[in-house]
Amino acid sequence: MADVRLRYEEGTIRVEGPLPADRDDTLAGTVEYDPRSETGRAPAFEYPAVRASLAQAGLTVDDDVFDLPVLDLDSAYRLREYQQEALDAWRANSDRGVVELPTGSGKTVVAVAAIAALETPTLVVVPTLDLLDQWHRELTQEFGDPVGRLGGDSQRVEDLTVSTYDSAYLRADELGDRFGLAVFDEAHHLGGEGYRDIARLLAAPARMGLTATFERPDGAHEVVAELLGSVVYRRSAAELAGEHLAAYDIRRIEVELTPEERETYEQNQSVFTDYLRQSSITLRSGSDYQELVKRSGTDPQAREALLAKQRAREVMMNAEGKVDRLATLLERHRGDRVIVFTAHTDLVYRLSERFLLPAITHETGASERREILERFREGTYSRVVTANVLDEGVDVPDANVAVLLSGSGSEREFTQRLGRVLRPKSDGGRALLYELVTEETAETRVAQRRR
């Protein structure tokens, strides 16, 4: 008879059986053990650590956590050298860790190869319905039916299942012992407070995270590393450009504010900076800014300062000089496929009306968005304008020119937008990203941060 028994129970690993008196601290740090009832519990994601601790203590285990079939899986993919390196690094890290590769470099291929190698039931978790469709289609084509689907109007679980983060969050405790491998696409989302529970409640010992930009400004990537493992392989767009991704150039164009825009900008920016000076607030991080936002709930001056900051930001982000320069760029690239990115939905519609550009925003319905992207793919449309929606989680057709009219200081956002033009070109041509920045404004610092 084994010394202890392990079972999965509602997002936890239950440890049953008496531990010898001289070993009652065997599971300290991983299991809350009660010697009176001779039982203990640990979060499900600690399953490998619990097994390792018991083995180190020389205890025999009756492991009832999993009863999983061995799947007969075979992938036809031939991995590129860096994709094989990524898979090998992940496998060498006990089938755990995050793979960081740029958009368009084939992160999905690495995960499909991992699924084929392990031949264990697998749950793939994705942030959007578009990615749910893409992954379901990919796994079905590669491995055949049935492939389960959790999200939208479907709640079907199979040995290979794709789920949105939202659906996985709602059902993680009941699915925790159904899968030996969990793949988290756009894994930086797992740092969100609620989504963390998905990885905590799953017992899957094998875990892979996929992302183009692992680090989060709020530091939550450290939580992701705890739940999935640290980054085991990383390649940048610059490293892969020219051979596996399109070679690219980034051109920064500075534009002037009109006299009226300059006056409005300076007035509002002064209100904001004057308040910071008077209140001795120093904005060094996002948490400092959030503290200012909280203060604005009870301090009228803080509220006015934030409103003034927003008005100044809108002026510099949506400057008329940017729109005029965009007209020049669209004329210059009449024969290219162009994506225009902005920070504001209102500007998207302004540009759409002025230049007759198909527009995609959060207000665009799923069917309309699919139709626009399909026409872009087939060449009926040669340019689109969008605000944030195409940054991630959407299968965007090949483009070779991106115009960044406005955006945040996020390195992730910049990397994702650059990635939209990096897929290799059939003619071997270079990709091009224009970055339009209003001179002598805070936007110059924003542009420096994201680069």
Fold of 4-63: MutS, DNA mismatch repair protein, domain I (3.40.1170)
SS3 content of the chain, % helix, strand, coil (to 5): 45, 20, 35
- What is the rounded average pLDDT of the residues 301-325? 89
pLDDT band at 406 (very low <50, low <70, confident <90, very high): confident
Q: Write out the residue limits of the CATH 3.40.1170.30 domain(s) in the chain.
A: 4-63
The whole-chain average pLDDT of the chain stands at 86
Give the pLDDT score at 83.
95
Looking at residue 180, its pLDDT comes to 96
Residue 393's pLDDT is 57
Average pLDDT over residues 328-343: 90
pTM here is: 0.80
* Per-position DSSP letters for 219-268, written without gaps between them: STHHHHHHHH--EEEE--HHHHBTTTB--EEEEEEEEPPPHHHHHHHHHH
* pLDDT given for residue 361 in this prediction: 87
In order, the DSSP letters of 276-316 are HHHHT----SHHHHHHHHHHTTT-HHHHHHHHHHHHHHHHH
81-235 fold: Rossmann fold (3.40.50)
Confidence of residue 65 (pLDDT cuts 50, 70, 90): very high
Environment class of 427 (CB within 10 Å of its CB; exposed 0-12, middle 13-18, buried 19+):
exposed
Residues 324-341 have a mean pLDDT of 91
Query: pLDDT of 182-196, one tens digit each?
Result: 999 999 888 878 899
Range list for CATH 3.40.50.300 in the chain: 81-235, 248-256+319-450
Q: Is the pLDDT of residue 245 over 80?
A: no
Lowest mean pLDDT across 57-71, 204-218, 392-406: 392-406
Q: Is the pLDDT of residue 242 over 80?
A: no
- Could you name the CATH architecture of 248-256+319-450? 3-Layer(aba) Sandwich (3.40)
Which of the two residues, 401 and 91, has the higher pLDDT score?
A: 91
Checking if the pLDDT of 29 tops 80, the result is no
